[in-house]
């Protein structure tokens, strides 16, 4: 069984850990979002790729959901002592090493996909992790700021520094139009038996990956099942509602399914709280969707996979 999953950070990584447990024999390829990537202190930081790599590799800070376990912050404190910012992005000492290795390899001419593969040699995540593109794509957010007026900021600045407090007027994956899928991305989708959307952010995680020319069409040709990141009208974690509002989509499991549309989705898992969701042409199933522990998470992944296999059989028949 060959499975492709598109993934952002926390929601994606946790789901993938469940998927790996539910389907230990499957060949899982993860296409990671790089729209959140940012250069800080001269280092290239890829938050979503690292969250997937650390989570599946056993190095994640479990409570936080991102960053390294047993982390220390000596470098951050030393930078602050020099008055060098930004201070709002929390990079720990262990995490810094990852970004140093990545930046060194990128400077030596390796594409991000090769760098990611090299980093995964250490972490052995048990899946093949490929960035959506080797080209630079950075999500920017146009905000209406009461003091500064309307201006664009890097997604991380809006998300982490501003905690999405200023409403987003629009969100754009800058560079996506000219970007090419990383080597292996389209082939993995084409060869996949099924494609899964974990409960990742529909706008700035899954939406950004789908914005790379060629990826959406390749995905649309497959049997696709998504897991709703929205339960009972609110994101389980984070501020995905602020992203959905910016693109004119209501924060509900129903609206997110309609946003993906039947051109993309064949099946949609919603929480029991949203059992009334109906979307013409999409098979909707309700079950508990809180990834509260390892067993609950692998049961969610198993349900997504079962639905995908069932729908694929219908399509193939």
Determine, following the binding rule CB under 5 A, whether residue 12 of this chain makes contact with Ca ion: no
Contacting range for ligand GDP; rule: CB under 6 A; set: 97-105, 138-146, 232-240, 275-283: 232-240
Contacting range for Ca ion; rule: CB under 5 A; set: 32-40, 62-70, 91-99, 124-132: 32-40
**43 or 303: whose CB is closer to ligand GDP?**
303
d(CA 283, CA 136) in angstroms, rounded, equals 36
Compute and round to an integer the Cα radius of gyration of the chain: 19
d(CA 216, CA 275) in angstroms, rounded, equals 28
Q: Residue from 199, 207, 226, 267 that binds ligand GDP (CB under 6 A)?
A: 199
* CA 296 to chain CA centroid, nearest Å: 20
The secondary structure of 202-237, three-state, reads CCCCHHHHHCCCCHHHHHHCCCEEEECCEECCEECC
Total residues at interface with ligand GDP (CB under 6 A): 24
Nearest residue to ligand GDP, using CB? 11
Please list the residues that pair with 152 across neighbouring strands. 142
Contacting range for ligand GDP; rule: CB under 6 A; set: 177-185, 213-221, 236-244, 306-314: 236-244
x/- contact string, 5-44, with ligand GDP (CB under 6 A)? --xxxxxx--------------------------------
Determine, following the binding rule CB under 5 A, whether residue 32 of this chain makes contact with Ca ion: no
d(CA 272, CA 286) in angstroms, rounded, equals 5
Q: What is the largest CA-CA distance in the chain?
A: 66
Looking only at residues 142 through 181 of this chain, which bind ligand GDP when binding is defined by CB under 6 A?
none
**105 or 246: whose CB is closer to ligand GDP?**
246
d(CA 18, CA 201) in angstroms, rounded, equals 18
Cis peptide before 86 (omega within 30 of 0): yes
Best CA proximity match to 195, nearest among 161, 219, 230, 228: 219
Determine, following the binding rule CB under 6 A, whether residue 67 of this chain makes contact with ligand GDP: no
Q: At what angle do helices 93-107 and 112-123 cross, to 10 degrees?
A: 140
**Alpha-carbon distance values, 277 to 28, 202, 274, 297 (Å):** 29, 17, 6, 22
Best CA proximity match to 141, nearest among 164, 123, 122, 161: 164
Q: Residue from 37, 48, 258, 266 that binds ligand GDP (CB under 6 A)?
A: 48
User: Residue 138: in which H helix or E strand, if any?
Assistant: strand 138-145
Determine, following the binding rule CB under 5 A, whether residue 235 of this chain makes contact with Ca ion: no
Determine, following the binding rule CB under 6 A, whether residue 267 of this chain makes contact with ligand GDP: no
Determine, following the binding rule CB under 6 A, whether residue 235 of this chain makes contact with ligand GDP: yes
x/- contact string, 274-313, with ligand GDP (CB under 6 A)? ---------------xxx----------------------
Residue 173: contacted member of Ca ion, ligand GDP, none (CB under 5 to 8 Å, by partner type): none
Determine, following the binding rule CB under 5 A, whether residue 37 of this chain makes contact with Ca ion: no
How many residues are there in the chain? Answer: 317
Tokens found for residue 253: 């499991």
Residue 287: contacted member of ligand GDP, Ca ion, none (CB under 5 to 8 Å, by partner type): none
Contacting range for ligand GDP; rule: CB under 6 A; set: 116-124, 176-184, 223-231, 250-258: 223-231
Q: Which residue ranges make up the site for Ca ion (CB under 5 A)?
A: 8-9, 36, 48
Q: Which residue ranges make up the site for ligand GDP (CB under 6 A)?
A: 7-12, 48, 51, 199-201, 205, 227-229, 231, 235-238, 240, 289-291
């Amino acid at each position: 069984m060959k499975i492709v999953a598109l993934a952002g950070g926390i929601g994606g990584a946790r789901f993938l850990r469940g998927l790996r447990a539910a389907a230990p024999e499957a060949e899982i390829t993860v296409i990671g979002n790089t729209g959140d990537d940012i250069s800080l202190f001269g280092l290239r930081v890829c938050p979503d790729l690292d969250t997937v790599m650390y989570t599946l590799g056993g190095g994640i800070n479990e409570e936080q959901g991102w960053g390294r376990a047993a982390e220390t912050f000596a470098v951050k404190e030393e930078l602050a002592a020099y008055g060098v910012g930004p201070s709002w992005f929390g990079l720990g000492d262990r995490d810094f090493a990852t970004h140093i290795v990545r930046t060194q390899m990128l400077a030596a001419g390796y594409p991000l996909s090769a760098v990611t593969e090299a980093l995964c040699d250490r972490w052995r995540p048990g899946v093949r992790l490929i960035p959506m593109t080797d080209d630079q794509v950075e999500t920017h957010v146009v905000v209406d700021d009461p003091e500064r007026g309307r201006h664009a900021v890097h997604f991380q600045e809006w998300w982490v520094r501003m905690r999405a407090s200023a409403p987003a007027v629009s969100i754009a994956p800058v560079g996506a139009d000219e970007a090419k899928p990383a080597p292996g991305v389209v082939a993995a989708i084409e060869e996949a038996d099924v494609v899964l959307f974990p409960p990742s952010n529909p706008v700035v995680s899954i939406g950004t990956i789908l914005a790379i020319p060629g990826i959406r069409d390749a995905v649309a040709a497959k049997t696709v099942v998504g897991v709703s990141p929205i339960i009972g009208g609110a994101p389980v974690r984070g501020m995905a509602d602020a992203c959905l509002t910016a693109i004119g989509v209501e924060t509900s499991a129903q609206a997110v399914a309609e946003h993906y549309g039947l051109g993309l989705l064949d099946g949609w898992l919603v929480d029991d709280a949203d059992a009334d969701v109906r979307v013409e042409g999409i098979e909707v199933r309700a079950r508990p969707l809180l990834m509260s522990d390892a067993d609950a998470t692998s049961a969610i992944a198993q349900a997504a996979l079962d639905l995908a296999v069932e729908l694929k059989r219908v399509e193939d028949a």
